[in-house]
Structure formats: C-alpha cells, structure tokens
Structure 1
Amino acid sequence: MRPFILALLLATTLPGAAIAQAAPQPTGDDPYIWLEEPASPRAMAWVESHNAASTKILEADPRYPILYEEALAIAGAKDRIPAPSFTHGAIYNFWQDPDHLRGIWRRTTLADYKTANPSWTTVLDVDALGKAEGKSWVLKGIECLQPEERRCLISLSDGGEDAVEIREFDLDSGGFVTGGFHLARGKHRVAWEDADHLLVATDWAPGDLTPSGYPYIVKRLGRGQPMSAAVEVFRGDRNDGGYGVSPEVLRDAAGHQLAVIQRPLDTFRHQSYVVTGKGAQRVAIPDKASITDLVDGRVIVQLDEAWTAAGPAFGPGAVAELDLAALKAAPDVLHPKILWMPGPRDSLTGIASTRGTLLLGTLENVRGRAWTYVPAAGGGWTATRLNLPDNLAIDLGAADTRSDRAFITASGFLTPSTLYLADGATGSLEVVKTLPPKFDASQDVVEQLEARSSDGTPIPYFVVHRKGIAYDGTTPTLMTAYGGFQVSETPYYSGTMGKLWLERGGAFVLANIRGGGEFGPAWHEAGLGTKRQIIYDDFTAVAKDLIARRITSPRRLGIEGGSNGGLLMGVEFTQHPELWNAVVIQVPLLDMIRISKIAAGASWQGEYGDVNADPAVMAFWRRLSPYQNLKAGVHYPEPFIFTTTKDDRVGPQHARKFAARMEEMKLPFFYYENTEGGHGAGADLKQAAHTNALTMAYLQRKLMD
C-alpha cells in the first residue's frame, strides 16, 4: 500500500526508554475481548458512539468541507490517466469517478486509447450490478484465460472484504456465463488450467482452512461439475502458515504452459510444486524463492535468499532461469543460470513478460530503473536499460503477451505520472499520456537525506518541502514509512497529498527504514521477529534527524502509517510520545499478543514471530506491543485512529481495543471506523474522500494551528 492517502517517516535501543517505565498491562485478563466480535450489536454500538464523537469535532472544522471537496475532486477527476491493461486484443480499464463510485470495467482500442479523449465501451458496471442484486459489490480481481482472453473470472467482494464471490464472464457476449464457473463467497485462490478446468484452492469442507483462515487444498474443477466432484491435485497441511496455498498457470507465446502451486510454510517461506502427468512434484529451489514467469521456454525464478546449491552467484535478490523441459522432467535436479544480480544498493521491484521479452523493474539507491531482456539464440539474454527519466519511481504496468509492448509509468513527489508504451524487443519508448498537475509544485523541492540509526546504519529518507524554508523547526511536517514485508517505498505523485498538505505549506517525509525491500532481502530480514526494534529505531532516527536539522520540531511533527505501518505508529506512539504532536494510526495491528486470534493474523508469523510457540517472541512483544504498553499518566499526543468494520485481513479489533484502553486511562483520541471498505480507506470514492478529509482536518489542527 502507499503509506498515506489510503486507495490506497539517534534513537535508543531500549524500548520505552523515553517514557516512564512500568510493567506492561497484563495479557491474561483483557477487558475488551468483546470488541473482537466484528459486528456484534454491542461492539457496533461502541463504534457508532465513538464515530459520532470524533466526526462531530472534525467535520465541524471549517477546513473540512473544502478538504472533502478537494479530495473527492482529485480522486474522481476525469483527466486522470486510465490505468490500461492488454486484454482480448483491446485496452481495458477499471474506472471510478463520482458518477461511478464502485466503478466500471470498460474497453477501447490501443489507437483510441492514445488519443486525448478515448471512446470507451462499458463491459461491466459494478454500481449497477450491486444495485440490481442488492449487494455492496466491490470489484476485487479479474483473471482472463490466455491466450484468447475471452473468458474471465470476476471476483466480487461484498463491502470490500478480502473474501470474494467468483463468476465467469464472457467478453464477447458482455455478460456472466449462464451455467459457467461460479464459486460462492470465500478466500479463494483460482487459476485457469484450460477452458474447461480450474485449479481451485478453497474451503472444500468445514475445517478445510488454516488457522489464518486460508485454504490448503487444491482441486481441479471441471466445467459443469459441482464443487463436490472436484478432484484433489495437492494437499498442504492444516497448520501451514502464510496466506494459503496458491495455484498459478504460467504460459508463454510459444504455447508452453507450467502449472505451479505454492505451499506457504510461513509469511515468506514456501515450497514450490509443478503439476505434471505424475502429479504435483516439489521443485528443488530455496523456500524463499518464487517461480514468477515463463518466456521462450525459460522459467524465471526470483530469489529472496541465497541458492547455495546453485553457486555463489545465486545470492539473495538475484533472478535466475531454468529450462522448462528439464524442470518438468526432473524438478528435483535443476541446472539454473543467473539472469540478473543486484549491486550493494540495488533491489528488484517487478517482473513482467511480453510475447518474447522479459522486463525487470529495479531500484538503485531508491531510484527506479527498467530493463528489457531479449532471449538470445542458443541461450543467454540481451539486456537493455530503458531510457527513462532518472530520480523517479519507475513502475512496470500491463504487458502484452500478443506483442512485445508494455506500459511503464514514471512519477515523483513533484512530477506527475507519465505513461510510456515500451517495445521490449527494440527498447523504444513512446509517451502515451501525462497526468496534468494536481497541485502547484513550483514552490517545492525534493531532497534525499540520511539519518544514522542506533547501530550506525545510514537510513535514507526523502523530504518534500517549500523552497527557502526557515530552518527554525516551524515547518509542519508529516512523516511516514512502512517497514515490513519487504515492501519498498519509493517516490510517488499524490495529488491529494500535494493539494491538501504541500500547497498549505506542509512538508512530507518518506523514510526508507529497514523491514522494507529498498536494498534487497537483507534490508527486510534485518528487522524480522525479535530483531524488530531496529525498524522502530530507524524511524525514530529519521525523526530526530529532521529535528536536529531544524526542518521541524516535535510541536510540528506528525506521523502516519497503515496496516503494518499502523503497528509502526503504535510503537512510536508508546515509545516516543515526546517526538510527535500528531499520530495517524490506520487499519493497524496493535495487539501483538492476540494477533494470531484476530482476522488473518496467524498468517504473518514469519514477519513478527509466533508468540504462542516461542517464549522469546512473547517476551519481546510484551515489551513492545502497543495495546499492552499504553500507560496511565503519560502525556501522549492525541491520535487519530482509523479502521474499517469490513477489514477481514487485519481486522478492526486492534484499533477498537487500543482506543478503548486509551479511554479507560482517560487519554484523548479521535476514532473513526468506516463500516465498509475492507483493508483500505473506503469502498468507493466518497468514502475514501471522507476518510482523507477527516485525516487532513486532524493533521492541520494539530500541526498547522
């Protein structure tokens, strides 16, 4: 996720050293367990009461109406770049605006898409579908059967939760297929095997889910078959960790096909299997390696740990290739070749493929790069770096398996997004669309600076601020980071951030702290499990560096983060309340003692450790878990806590309980829980604009007044 504007920064090593020392709250007697019932009448009455109290104040702020209108106008602007995909010989796009709050899926030709005002044909109207069926439908995903891409699987969520209903859709007829594939609500994993068969991971019978609520059994479902007739292809274990077993079918333009199943062992480690005539056979690659693509009969493997059996060149962060025929014949005896190796400040950000080329997105000191790799006769590749602007984020977009074309986006904090059409075979680039500026950036500048963390490691961060600011600590500054799951945070253009914050004189900071993937797998692994305090030290170090440089001061410094970034906010809130005057905690994890009991929390034990199985992990989180480490009598800043009732990934329980404990201690806070939206800001543009306006009203009250 982007850490701000939901869509969708020299510390001590001792936790809590900056605040009064006291024993953590006991975990065995939790008076707020009842708030863990997501939609119970008692819990929802609590939510409604606290929503009303907070919105009464924030919506009464004279800035709120303007903030809301600006946020909605930017989110629903007609001149946004429609995100394109190559599908069924046309360009498809999913579009939301004030007239289509849940969105329409539409198509046009490539030639027409390149024009200033394309003529679109609506394929699926999600708002109309929801109205006709009496559902709060949110489109969650589309998977079309290659190479024809006529038949597609449409995933629909009621209210934005992760669980979906899946239906088959025909692009030629423009409607759902009568008697076609249909899966009732669940956390499904589905892949087309061929026109008449799906590989499906789901809860086939009561109890067929892991403790995290994800499937571990894959079956082959034939067209016209009831679910009960599906044939088992693979079975993991009910106690598997991670996000559930996932089938995928890779195809290339030469007609090659490879069915892959990933069996998760925890959040990051998984076993890989290929489905052959002999059944599902395990592939002898490391547990932190993934089969990601197929080009010209070459299987692409991304390494997040060293493949020691393959040789010293196959280090963490590298990309390797395998011969498809040899892999199918003997998946336990492999002869990989190296394709790409990262430098000391490099990392991989994306892999895509066209008809005959491979595209790689990389970072070099948090600056985006894009490369094309063309298979060479007799083996090897011809690599070309695409001539894209420097000092920007480069994102690989949709790639066309019928040609060598692919879309690539370049953007920066002050640079509106430019969409390029690249030719993977020739390396040529064509500017297709450029986003009109959404705010006045003429008075702003971007710097990349470094702080020193508690162990001496340099931590880079970006600062966006007005030119010629007075270095006297008076600049209102909003800082964010994510710090987990090997997610790289790079510069990006946000009209909402620019219009609602930068134009009003605020500064914005994005910190590249450990736990992310900005410098490869080692940057992530440095903060796993009980090593996690260093992530929080990194964030604190950046804050102290901003204060030491007199860019801002604790009175004018606010922080914001969501999901794992919400946990980061909770820890910083409890460990260093003296450093901030505003803290925005969004869809957060906060009770790290009961995390495995709430929503999908058990699936993240590879990131945070297992408090139930490892006493060292339990001891660590008893010292750091925000919910357990709130203390009466401490002067905390007044936070803004946001969550959603429909979040079945992290769950609203963490936010509710944290707020309830603050209330018990007579500590002030703002709380808002959207009743829809899933793990995000809202189920539609108006809900998201409301959330953003509330957040900005809060931040401006705290940091600009």
Structure 2
Amino acid sequence: MKRTLIAAATLLATASIPASAQDMTAPDYPETRRGDVVETIFGEAVADPYRWLEEDVRNSQDVANWVDRQNTVTDAYLAKLPARDWFTKRIGELYDFERFSVPVERGGRYFYTGNSGLQNQSPLYVRDSLDAAPRLLIDPNEWAEDGATALSGWVPSPDGTRLLYSVQDGGTDWRILRVMDVATGDQIGGEIRWAKFTGLSWVGEDGFLYSRFPEPEEGEDFQAINMNQAVYYHALGSDQADDRLVFSTPDHPERNHTAQTTSDGRWAIITSSTGTDSRYEVNLIDLSQGWNTRPLVPGFENSWNLIDSVGSRLFFSTNADAPLYRVVSIDMDNLQAGWTEVLAERDQPIAGASLVGGHLVVEYLEDASSAAYVYTLDGELVREMDFAGIGSASGFYGSPDSAEMFYAFSSFNRPAAIYRYDVSSGDSTVFAEPELTFNPDDFVVEQRFYESKDGTRVPMFIMRRADVAASGKAVPTLLYGYGGFDVSLTPGFSTSRMAWVEAGGAFALANIRGGGEYGKAWHDAGRRANKQNVFDDFIAAGEFLITEGVTSENGLAIQGGSNGGLLVGAVSNQRPDLFAAGNAAVGVMDMLRFDQWTAGRYWVDDYGYPDREEDWRILRAYSPLHNIQPATDYPALLVTTADTDDRVVPGHSFKYTAALQAEDLGDRPQLIRIETRAGHGSGKPTDKAIEEASDIAAFLAYWTGLKPGE
C-alpha cells in the first residue's frame, strides 16, 4: 500500500530521523491483499488477514507474485544505499582467506573440509597420512550451477576406506545420503532419501544407522509437520526399501530418534526426545549381540549426552541432579553398580566432552567463553588447556585409544585456527592457520556486565577498533542476541561484523536469558512464561550501550536470526523508540500458529502450546505479528528470509512484513528481502552470503549513521 500519514505523525517521524537519511525514507510498498479470516480463540477475535501468505511459494502463484513485487521494491531500495558497494567489497575481501574444518582421523587418514576463500561451498579433502599432501575427495561446487547444493554432514568409516555423507539442496533441512569409496571416489550403492535431523553412524564397515521421516505427500515437502521419525539400518549395496527398521515409536509419533555408535563399534545409543528441551530417553543396542534394544535411561526427565565407551564402560554428560552438568559412567557388565560419578558438577556448565587417548577432555563455559580441561577416566585433573584469550573452542576430535586430538579456536577478531593436541604431553601445534587481511591486534574485545529490568546480571561482549575504543566516542553499534532453546552464544568470527567494526562501528553480543550460558536455570528463566525476560534483557542491553556511551540514542541497530528474529520483532514492538534499525532474519513471527508447520511443533518446549489458554495468552502478549503498534515511529526494519526455509517457514516473515507495511509506522522503511534457493542458513553459497550480508550491513549503517571511510 502507499503510505498515508497524517500530518502530525509525519512531523513526529521526520523529526526523529537524521537529516542525511531523509532521502531514503520508506518507498511505496506493493499492495498486499487482505483476507477476511477471523478466528475466535479463548474468547478473543483474532484477525489473520494475511493467512494466504502461509502457502508454499512453489504451489501458489499469488504468493510467488507477492514475493516478486516485494523483492523488486527492496532490491531497488538497497541498490541506492551509499555504503553498499563498500560493504560488498570489504566483506568479500574478508571472506577471501583459506579456512579449514577440524580434521577427523580414521584408519590413519585425515578428513577435513577446506575453502580457498571465495568458493561457494567447501570441498572435502583427505590426507592418507598426517604429512601427506591433501587429496580432493568431494567438490560440491560441481553439483549445482548456482552453488546452492551443499555438502552437509560426513563421517568416514572406522577404517577410513569409505565415506558416508549427506547432501543439502537449496537450503532445505532434508538430506540425501550417499557413500563413497575413499580410494577411488566411486559412489557405493544408491541414495537414501527423506533423512532429516539425522545422525550418521557407521556399523562396522558395511552399513550405517540414520534417521528419517515418512515421505511427505506431494507438494508438502517444505510445510508438512514432521512426525514419526524412525531409525533405520542401511546395508551397503541394498535398496533403501530393504533397510532394517531399528527403532520407532508408532504409538508416540511426536517422538524423535537419533542413533550414535561408539568408537569401538560395539554399542549403538538411540536418543529419543519429544521437542527441543534436553530431556531424553536413551535406549541401547549391544551390536555384538544383534539388534535387540534395551532401555538405559527412561522418563524424558534429563539430558543425557553420550561421550564414548571404553570396553563395557559408557560415559555420558548429564544434568540429572546437576543443572550445570556432570560426567557419569555405567559398566554394562556390572549394571547392579548403577551410575558412577566421574566429574561432579562445578560452577560453570559443561559445553561438551570427548574421550581421547584414555583421558576425558571437557569444555566448560566460563562467562560464555570456552575453557577446557584434561582429566583421567577417574576424574583426576591433569591440566587446563591454553587458549588465546576470550574465544570459542570446538571440535576436540580424537579416539579413546589415541592421544592425538584436533580442535579449533576462534574469537570475534580471530578466524578459526586448527590445532593438533597431544593429551598425554599437553603439546599443541598448529595444523592450519589462516592468513588474514587485517591485524587482530587492531581490535579490542572486552566483556562487560549489565543489569536487566529485574536486576539480573547479564554478560555482554563488545568489539571495537582499538582507536575507537581509546577515543571513548559513541559510534553506531550493532547489537546481536538470541535468547532461547538452551543455545549459548560464544565469541566467534564473522566477516560482516568485522566489516562493521572496521567501518568505525561497534559490535555487541548480549548473552541474554533463554540461552545455555549459565546452565538450566538460565534457560528456564527465558522460556515459556518467562519469555518476557529475554526481551527485557535485550532492551536493557541497548539502554546500557547508550548509557555507557558506546553508542548514541540514534545509533543503535539490532539483529537476530530464527528465535533471534522473533526477538528483534518483539522488542521493536515493545521499544520502537530505542532502536534506529533492525534486521529480523528467518524469524518466528506468528506465535499463535508456529506449531502448524514442519519442525514448529518441537518448539512448544520453549514457547508453550498455542492450543492451551494459559500459554496462548502469554504468546499473544508478545507475538511480533500481533503486537505492531499503529501510528508509532518504528525503527527501519529489514526482514530477511528464504523460499526454501523449511525450519521457520517464510510465511512467518511474509505475514509480519505485510502487517508492518499496512500500518503508519513513520518514515523509516519496513522491507523484506527474500532469497531464492536458500533455507534457514546452512548450506548457503558464499556469493549469496556476501550479497545478503552486504545488503543488511549497508541498510543498518544508513539508519545508524555509520559511514565507512570517514
């Protein structure tokens, strides 16, 4: 629709916009048809005029036409942004460095992905020994002309002669499974279809376990609710139709099941869940005795994460009687002894654990930054691992019978370097380290703490150029958050954030409640009835950045994706005066219907049940789609989504954008950018990632006054 503001509202909105920005005010939006859907829910009439935008763009010409019209307007707007070319060039330069994944050793071979810099997808390489030259094994850049078909998961067979891998096309969560002969590169057997949310676990050298859903009805691939997941065994050379059903719960179609095998190949662990909460049942198969399953942990009460096994002894991390997690073991040959505590709970949550060379390597989160320690199998401390300051460690890949381990370490100002570590001696050497186009020491990363509305102490990371930090000058600031699903945000490298900071801005990451940075209590304090704490924490973070002089009142931009997109939408409704601009990426925007599509039904653990009145009223109170404030000066908002997002279906963003554009929200624009042949984020080709990041950065820069080169 065309914007029709009353004179008073126009004056108010214009007065709050920097003079330099008034030539980029909101364009004329495309007309969006309003339907007449109204439902009475728990006594309240709820209009849903854009229900028709929920339809799959592939099956609805009306929705496809709407997408084309919106993209035409958005593309024309973004093309005029003065910093767009600068961000495109600089983000491309920052992307252009050689990078690697953490190697996995099997049978004396070392497997890892590598990217020369600007390749759309990262090829997979193998070294036939540690010192051998790398050999190209898989190049996914050859799979699709647009670069949108990606190598997803992969795992070598125990002796390193075969490789099981998954293919992701166009960003979907569906996976196609294939097996390759490592020596020849030839494919072994056919393809496995309809795998999703699956582990990849070898059983010996001739077959593997995987999880799949029933084939959806035609045309429902990207929207149908995912039910009846089951674990299957596929024998190499056989047809998928002949795969053995290993585990399923047809009487409980809502349950999910994934399988893991231990390093020695003896045990298969099947972990079952009902949603996104870390509450699992665990079943066990002794593969040396056949396919019989037996319960190990019943009840869906706690988190149980397999670490690995040594003989008959299985090791797990769990939050049973330990909200911050502990390590326990059980001897399957001496079940009457029950569970034995190996490492007691401490003041920091366990983020991960590995069993390497007869030792336990345990990663903890210490105020949202990685720390790792080496222990004996009886829980005696051997040493702390040394990391290069505040950052994130990942990987810790090795095997119980070898002292060799690989891990990665990164921070806001340091891309990931890969290290080889000897758990026996503590010696660490660089396996691969990128050559950079910037000096990490030119940037300052600090951690501060601030108080939320209820007095809760919340951590925040801030990165700035060293000269900007020293000057004490308030600069345009990009604030990022997530706040949900027990997800911990730790320091990591991002080319777009680095470009923002190089341009003279500041980047801030707030570790708000709902995440897992401080264990179960931190998560519980930001979900279901406590979800408002998440928004309060994020709003308080913005106020803190202004009060502390990091940014100015007109210089704050916000960004979040998925649950973080919900965050951006909710706080924009609750405090539109606080933010100059925002990017809500692939967000959950309709909180009254999120459980109607694909994986949405899992999220009730964090959000609650829309069909229960108590939960519905909480959801209704903050749902971004349903709480837009008419005749209010809103921040400039760029909503981003993709046509193949089958995690958070794009209808969320479509409906939310249509609702924004239908209201008088001031002179700042509310636009949507819809990517094609892309999904929720993973598998996106480099060229599309650079283009999208540049558009977002240029948009946020314009409305916060960030001017690269000045």
CA distance in 2 between counterparts of 1:686 and 1:475 reads 29
2:344 is matched by which residue type in structure 1?
A: M
1:555 offset after TM fit, Å? 0.5
Deviations 1:417-436 (A, max 9, x none): 44321112222222334333
1:380 offset after TM fit, Å? 5.2
CA distance in 2 between counterparts of 1:507 and 1:595 reads 34
2:263 is matched by which residue type in structure 1?
A: R
CA distance in 1 between counterparts of 2:385 and 2:406 reads 12
Q: 3-state SS of the aligned residue for 1:550?
A: coil
**1:336 maps onto 2:339 in alignment:** yes
1:82 offset after TM fit, Å? 5.4
Q: Name 2:202's counterpart in structure 1.
A: 192
CA distance in 1 between counterparts of 2:82 and 2:399 reads 49
Please give the root-mean-square deviation of Cα atoms over the aligned residues, in Å: 3.0
CA distance in 2 between counterparts of 1:517 and 1:188 reads 21
1:468 offset after TM fit, Å? 5.8
**1:282 maps onto 2:280 in alignment:** no
1:692 offset after TM fit, Å? 0.5
Q: Describe how 1:305-704 pairs up with structure 2 within 5 A.
A: 305-306=320-321, 314=322, 316-326=324-334, 330=335, 335-344=338-347, 346-375=348-377, 381=380, 383-400=382-399, 403-466=402-465, 467=467, 469=469, 474-498=474-498, 500-612=499-611, 614-667=612-665, 668-680=669-681, 683-704=684-705
The answer to whether the Cα contact below 8 Å between 1:557 and 1:579 also exists between their aligned partners in 2 is yes
Decide whether aligned partners of structure 1 residues 201 and 473 sit closer, same or farther in structure 2, where only a CA change above 3 A counts: same
Give the one of 101, 114, 122 matched to 1:95. 114
1:137 is matched by which residue type in structure 2?
A: T
The answer to whether the Cα contact below 8 Å between 1:211 and 1:239 also exists between their aligned partners in 2 is no
Decide whether aligned partners of structure 1 residues 400 and 64 sit closer, same or farther in structure 2, where only a CA change above 3 A counts: farther
Q: What are structure 2's unaligned runs of at least 5 residues? A: 1-39
Decide whether aligned partners of structure 1 residues 88 and 695 sit closer, same or farther in structure 2, where only a CA change above 3 A counts: farther
Q: 3-state SS of the aligned residue for 2:549?
A: coil
Q: 3-state SS of the aligned residue for 2:121?
A: strand
1:640 offset after TM fit, Å? 0.8
Q: Name 2:31's counterpart in structure 1.
A: none
Q: Name 1:294's counterpart in structure 2.
A: 308
Q: Name 1:144's counterpart in structure 2.
A: 156
The answer to whether the Cα contact below 8 Å between 2:148 and 2:683 also exists between their aligned partners in 1 is no
The answer to whether the Cα contact below 8 Å between 1:95 and 1:104 also exists between their aligned partners in 2 is yes
Which stretch has the larger CA shift, 657-666 or 364-373? Answer: 364-373
Deviations 1:161-220 (A, max 9, x none): 11011111111221211xx25212442635322333433432356699997415433333
Give the one of 18, 25, 33 matched to 2:51. 33
1:483 offset after TM fit, Å? 0.9
Which stretch has the larger CA shift, 440-449 or 526-535? Answer: 440-449
The answer to whether the Cα contact below 8 Å between 2:102 and 2:395 also exists between their aligned partners in 1 is no
Which stretch has the larger CA shift, 694-703 or 221-230? Answer: 221-230
Q: What are structure 1's unaligned runs of at least 5 residues? A: 1-22, 114-118, 307-313
Deviations 1:632-651 (A, max 9, x none): 21211120110111111112
Normalised TM-score (structure 1): 0.85
Q: Describe how 1:240-255 pairs up with structure 2 within 5 A.
A: 240-241=253-254, 244-252=256-264
CA distance in 2 between counterparts of 1:381 and 1:201 reads 37
Deviations 1:513-546 (A, max 9, x none): 1111111222112222111111111111121122
The answer to whether the Cα contact below 8 Å between 1:438 and 1:495 also exists between their aligned partners in 2 is no
The answer to whether the Cα contact below 8 Å between 1:416 and 1:436 also exists between their aligned partners in 2 is no
CA distance in 1 between counterparts of 2:551 and 2:235 reads 62
1:88 offset after TM fit, Å? 4.3
Decide whether aligned partners of structure 1 residues 91 and 66 sit closer, same or farther in structure 2, where only a CA change above 3 A counts: farther
**1:172 maps onto 2:191 in alignment:** no
Give the one of 263, 270, 274 matched to 2:272. 263
Q: Name 1:18's counterpart in structure 2.
A: none
Decide whether aligned partners of structure 1 residues 644 and 315 sit closer, same or farther in structure 2, where only a CA change above 3 A counts: closer
Q: Name 1:155's counterpart in structure 2.
A: 166
Q: Name 1:13's counterpart in structure 2.
A: none
Q: Name 2:9's counterpart in structure 1.
A: none
CA distance in 2 between counterparts of 1:588 and 1:206 reads 24
The answer to whether the Cα contact below 8 Å between 2:102 and 2:408 also exists between their aligned partners in 1 is no
> What percent identity do the matched residue pairs reach?
26
Deviations 1:98-130 (A, max 9, x none): 6742332122356448xxxxx432111212233
The answer to whether the Cα contact below 8 Å between 1:473 and 1:553 also exists between their aligned partners in 2 is no
Q: 3-state SS of the aligned residue for 2:458?
A: strand
CA distance in 1 between counterparts of 2:229 and 2:101 reads 36
Which stretch has the larger CA shift, 463-472 or 689-698? Answer: 463-472
Decide whether aligned partners of structure 1 residues 415 and 472 sit closer, same or farther in structure 2, where only a CA change above 3 A counts: closer
CA distance in 2 between counterparts of 1:181 and 1:582 reads 49
CA distance in 2 between counterparts of 1:520 and 1:241 reads 26
CA distance in 1 between counterparts of 2:211 and 2:150 reads 21
Q: 3-state SS of the aligned residue for 1:273?
A: strand
1:273 offset after TM fit, Å? 0.7
CA distance in 2 between counterparts of 1:464 and 1:441 reads 11
1:476 offset after TM fit, Å? 0.6
Deviations 1:122-174 (A, max 9, x none): 1112122336xx9952211112222x132222211221211011111111221
Give the number of aligned pairs.
Answer: 650
1:218 is matched by which residue type in structure 2?
A: V
CA distance in 2 between counterparts of 1:167 and 1:418 reads 30
The answer to whether the Cα contact below 8 Å between 2:148 and 2:170 also exists between their aligned partners in 1 is yes
CA distance in 2 between counterparts of 1:581 and 1:426 reads 53
Decide whether aligned partners of structure 1 residues 510 and 66 sit closer, same or farther in structure 2, where only a CA change above 3 A counts: same
Q: Name 1:124's counterpart in structure 2.
A: 138
Normalised TM-score (structure 2): 0.85
CA distance in 1 between counterparts of 2:204 and 2:545 reads 56
Decide whether aligned partners of structure 1 residues 175 and 358 sit closer, same or farther in structure 2, where only a CA change above 3 A counts: farther
1:479 is matched by which residue type in structure 2?
A: L
1:351 is matched by which residue type in structure 2?
A: A
Q: Name 2:192's counterpart in structure 1.
A: 183
The answer to whether the Cα contact below 8 Å between 1:394 and 1:409 also exists between their aligned partners in 2 is yes
The answer to whether the Cα contact below 8 Å between 1:547 and 1:554 also exists between their aligned partners in 2 is yes
2:626 is matched by which residue type in structure 1?
A: Q
1:250 offset after TM fit, Å? 1.6
Q: 3-state SS of the aligned residue for 1:657?
A: helix
Q: Describe how 1:199-278 pairs up with structure 2 within 5 A.
A: 199-204=209-214, 212-237=225-250, 239-241=252-254, 244-252=256-264, 257-268=266-277, 269-276=279-286, 277=289
Which stretch has the larger CA shift, 220-229 or 663-672? Answer: 220-229
CA distance in 1 between counterparts of 2:472 and 2:490 reads 28
Q: 3-state SS of the aligned residue for 1:579?
A: coil
2:497 is matched by which residue type in structure 1?
A: M
1:663 offset after TM fit, Å? 1.5
Decide whether aligned partners of structure 1 residues 89 and 517 sit closer, same or farther in structure 2, where only a CA change above 3 A counts: same
The answer to whether the Cα contact below 8 Å between 1:90 and 1:110 also exists between their aligned partners in 2 is yes
Q: Name 2:90's counterpart in structure 1.
A: 70
1:547 offset after TM fit, Å? 1.7
Higher normalized contact order (CA 8 Å, seq sep 6+, divided by chain length): 1
CA distance in 2 between counterparts of 1:682 and 1:166 reads 15
Q: Name 2:11's counterpart in structure 1.
A: none
CA distance in 2 between counterparts of 1:238 and 1:589 reads 30
The answer to whether the Cα contact below 8 Å between 1:681 and 1:688 also exists between their aligned partners in 2 is no
Which stretch has the larger CA shift, 583-592 or 219-228? Answer: 219-228
